[in-house]
Each structure stands twice: as structure tokens, then as C-alpha cells.
Chain A
């Protein structure tokens, strides 16, 4: 099943990929190796999360994008750097710090090493809450009001500064909701939420979903690394069509063999539900701990795994003793009555930002990427979801 090799690059590129153990970076590595014969180096923090990458002849550098010395070693001799890493662990503060400082240090290391091009993976979220109608790259960047989006906005500003000052040729990509095999937020998380409860469709899901299949985004990244017209530019990257959120969630529900996994609310109702749920949050957490305490089977399955033993080991060396004692106390005794149960599967609340996000009828334009990059999305939502479903079934995520 080998694809014809006709690389858009002139010579095999030497590329460093940060965030390579993640969803998008991991797929990028596959395609760089398989189709372009690229000499790929990856910077990964934890070997345990790098199993997918180890399938390929890539050079591993263990390290972190917030550590300049790790970056310096990994980037030496590279032509291109794809910066896909972002904060995925720890507190919101820590994640934001990784987004801001990690991007700055990555760009600085690339500059010092004389890298020819950096492709920086930004996000649609840098436009903040978008309104109805067309959206293109001339729109103002605005804070969205959550840690991820706002720190990604700061990181993008840093990338623009590096580019404008001539220190580093940077191309910025702003993907919409990226889905596909191994996808986190817009794939596994949505499937898990639909499996464990009901999704709120704001205004019946009338808002517009701008989504892109991971392979289309990776194609855009490969173009961004090689097209000279891309230097110093930012590009919105989305799929070939815009669908409603109702259609998108309908497609996920179909994977699960059931169409009734959503509940429609007006924005006001969704906000009120969020507020109500927020007040109950501490009790909600108690409920999770109660399940843990009361369901012997669940606890046994969890406690019997080597991974949990490893986690407990890690926790005992990292957490202050007081915190450990509090956790132990919660896991072994006490507990308060749970909040009254909703009728039917639980409804997952939406944050106020997400209510606005789902209500908007924004149509993301990809004309600039078409014009300057030669980007043309090849995967319709139907086709992308078909491949995603095949993977999800194999990954044991579907019933």
C-alpha cells in the first residue's frame, strides 16, 4: 500500500517536530517519513507517549519546549521546524506558560540554529468570539477569555514579532476544529462525552461548525513549510464545507449507533444550566469519588493496573504529604449526599465561551490558503468521519 513518492520538497528535508507525540504532530511525522523521506527529529517529554512515533525511523530527543538546552540539541542542523507542542498537563497557569514560553524559546532556538522556516500551529481561537458571517485573516485578533486561547494568542504574537523583525521566517496556521484518528478534543473527547451523557446543542445546533480533517491540516503544514509565498503569513485552515453543529454531532452519534444523545437549549438556558452546575460542582466531585469508593469492581480494575501503581509512585514523590493525606481521605471514607439525578443520561454543561462558540454562524474562509499555499482540502466531513469511525472502532472507543 505504498503511495507514489513525489515530494513537493526539492530535497529530503531535515525537520524537527515539537508536540510529535500528539495528534497532529504525530500524523505530520508519519507523512514526513512515509511520503517525503524526511530526516525527522522529534522532541518528546515522555517515552511512554511516543509509541506511535517509534514505528518510524525518527531520531528521538527527550526534552521539553520550555528548556532552551533541550531545543538547542534537537534543532541543530534542521531546515524546518514544525512547532505543534502546547501545554497539555498541569494547571491552567502551567499550560499557558508552556504555550507562551515554549513558543518563544522554540523560536529563539530555531533562530540561533539558522533554521530556514518555522511552521507554527496556532488556532482559530485567536480571533476570540467570532460573529455570524464570513471570517478571514484580516479580522482582529481578540482574547477569547480562556487560558488556552489567550495564551495561544500571545504565542502567535511572539511568532509574528519573530517574523516581522526578520529574525525567523515563520508561517502561522490557524486550524478550525481538527478531527481524525487519535484526535483529542474534537474526536475522542466528543465520543466519550456522547458515550457518558448528552451534549447541549445551542439553538438546536444551528450554529456553524468549521472543522478540518487532520490530513488536510497536515497537507497545509507541508505546503506552509515549502511555499515561499507563505513566509510571514497567517492562514486559516478548514475543511471543504461548513456544516451545522447538529450535523456534526449527528455524525458522532451515528458512530455510537444512536441519534438521541443531544439536548437543545437556547443560549440563555445553556448559560443558566452552566451556572447551576457550577454551584453543584463540589458536590459533583464528591459523587465521582463516591463511585470510586463504592464500586469495588471499578476500583479493582483501576488499582490493579501497573500504570496506576506508577502514578501512585509518581504522586508520592511529587505531592506534598498534606495533599496526599487529603486524597487518601477522600478515597477511603466520608462523602456527602450526591445531587439529585437528572432524568436520562447526564447533560454535559458548556462554559459561557463555548455557548457563544456553538451559537455563532461563522463561516471560515480559506481563500488565502488556497491562493498563496495552493491548499485544497481533500476530505469532506462525511469522508473524514468515515475514516475516523474506522479508527475509533479499531481503537475500542465505540460499542
Chain B
């Protein structure tokens, strides 16, 4: 079968580290053109990944492509995706899908109008444990769910090509929109829709680097979520059940899963894959994501993470920002400082 012809829009870190290697390894898709506002960056990437053509404006290449991977700054996700989808070009858009649920709706409508496929790059859905945890919880194996506690924090060393992620106008938000979108999406997959949220973050005229959520789900279960890009946190989600506790790694394509029975002093740990099968890597995850997208485009079916699925976490993030309260950091503004400044 002929491969789906892709343009990759944006040749920054995620294209370089994740998408282009995955596309090179895919049997279902090929990159035919790389687009970046910096022609030098596009050419360097094209040479490295053997892509025949580069451009500085995606509108020049529409006749040569079936679909596009949109890996542009967050603020461009919706306008560019809408433009492509309306013209019948399918889109795999990097996370966060858009800055608001309203933008997501426009993207979904544009895909329908253009008869194109819209997929969202929430790659954590392709992790080995994601579906396993969903099934495990759905089968009620922990008994009644009493609560959850998710802590995700890493001090990033991501080799950003530009500073777009530092500015509200281009990033849309801080750590919640950047890292948080992944973990909130997982919680929505695992626990169903949310009902209400209390939200605190540390932004003071810019974008947050740390935030806390108290999240209540429609099922009635509630829990805490903490997301940080200044601290290395536990990077797991703990589910407290009536019979046992389940702890699952959340920043790892092949996480360790631990099941504990407190009253029996027993715990089991392992991975959600058949014994003897190789460890799942980010390379595998991105290949699966691009293959799923290419198949969806070819077959006209919905991808694993459709626009409607992608919209769910964006709606929650928007609700968080709307309900924002300041995060209490006692060392940040101690009384001695106020006294010194007022002297």
C-alpha cells in the first residue's frame, strides 16, 4: 500500500527527537516535505532524515501531501490545523491540541467539513500501561475507589529550538498546558469525566511552573494532582481502593506497576506486557502513533486519540485557569521581605 505523504510543520525539538525518527521507521507514512520558518533548520533536518523537500510556508506544499504533523508553537495549533482540515488535509496535532475548548470545536468542525482526519498527539495513550490501568479499574479489582494522588514533576532538559514555551501568547499556559495535559488526559481515560476542580498555581503575570489541582470526578471519586517543571516529583499515580492500592508510573512508556495490600503486607510489581517481550520505548510509542494516524487517514476511521478525545483535557485545563487561585509558597514572600521593602 502506498504510504501516506506527510508534511511536518515545525522542525523543533519534538519533530527532531520524536516525529521524524518515528516517520522514518514507519511503513505506513513518509515525510515528503519539512516546513519551518527558519529555512536553515528545515534543511538541516531534511538532510538528516532524508526528506526531499523543505519550505517556509505550508500553504506552498498542499498539493503534494495527504496529511500534516503540526508541531508548531501551541498558539498556532488551532489556526493552522483548521486551515489544513478545511482543505481536506488530515492533521496529527501535537499536544496541547489547542488553547481553548472553543478552538478544539473549530478544529473538529473543520475536520468534518473537509472530510479529513484529526488526531491529537497525546502519546501517553500509547503507553503499555494506559489501557491496562483503565481495564483494571473498570473491572473493580481494587474494590470501591476511595481516591487518587498523582504527582508529576521533572526539571526539563528538553533541547528547545526556540523560546515559544516561555511566553503566554505562544504557549497558552505553563506546566499545566505542557506536562499537565498528558496526566489529565490519562486521568480522564482512567476515571471518566470530571465534575469540578479547585486549582492553584504560581504564575505572577507570566505562566505557571508549578500547580496543584483538587479534582472531583463525575463518579464521585476525588483526588489531588500536582504538576511541576521545577521539581523532580514521584512521577506516579496512586489509586486507593477498598481492597488494595495501585501505583503506576506516569512518565514512562513502560512503567512499573505496583499493587499493594496494606492489611496483608503484600505487594506485587511488574509491567503491563507479556513476559519476555521487550521493554516499550518512546520510539515504539511514536511509531505506533504515526501508524495509527496513517491507518486512520487511509481507512477514513477515527484515530486512537480523536479531536473529541483531545478536547476533554483542554476543557479541563481551561476550567483550571478560569478558577485559578495563587499557590501558597511561604518562602516566596516572607514577612521579613515585606518589612524590608517598606522600610
Contact = CB atoms under 8 A, between A and B. Distances in A.
Contacts of A133: none
Interface stretch (B55-63, B107-115, B152-160): B152-160
B274 to A, nearest CB: 17
Contacts of A35: 337, 341
A51 B336 contact: no
Given A307-B154, A307-B157, A390-B331, A6 B341 contact: yes
B331 A51 contact: no
Contacts of A6: 341-342
Interface in B179-212: 202-209
A390 B333 CA distance: 13
A193 to B, nearest CB: 17
B339 interface: yes
Contacts, number: 143
User: Taking chain B's interface residues, is the majority helix, strand, or loop, or is none over half, making it mixed?
Assistant: loop
B174 A51 contact: yes
Contact of A47 (B160, B331, B334): B160
Contacts of B174: 51, 54-55
A16 B196 CA distance: 42
A314 B234 CA distance: 26
B252 interface: yes
Nearest to A395: B231
A54 B229 CA distance: 11
Contact of B342 (A3, A60, A314, A391): A3
A33 B330 contact: no
Contacts of A396: 153, 231-234
Given A33-B204, A47-B166, A48-B158, A309 B282 contact: yes
Given A31-B337, A215-B334, A396-B232, A46 B175 contact: no
A226 to B, nearest CB: 13
Given A47-B160, A301-B252, A55 B207 contact: yes
Contact of A310 (B157, B167, B254): B157
Contact of A4 (B159, B166, B204, B338): B338
A219 interface: yes
B230 interface: yes
Given A30-B332, A301-B252, A307-B157, A56 B166 contact: no
A30 B162 CA distance: 23
Interface of A: 1, 3-7, 30-31, 33-35, 44, 46-58, 60, 62, 180-182, 215, 219, 297, 300-301, 304-307, 309-311, 313-314, 378-379, 383, 387-388, 390-391, 394-396
8 nearest A-B pairs in the assembled complex, by CB-CB distance: A3-B338, A57-B205, A51-B209, A304-B252, A387-B331, A47-B160, A54-B166, A378-B336
Interface of B: 13, 16-17, 153-154, 156-160, 162-163, 165-167, 174-175, 202-209, 229-234, 251-256, 279, 281-282, 326, 328-334, 336-342
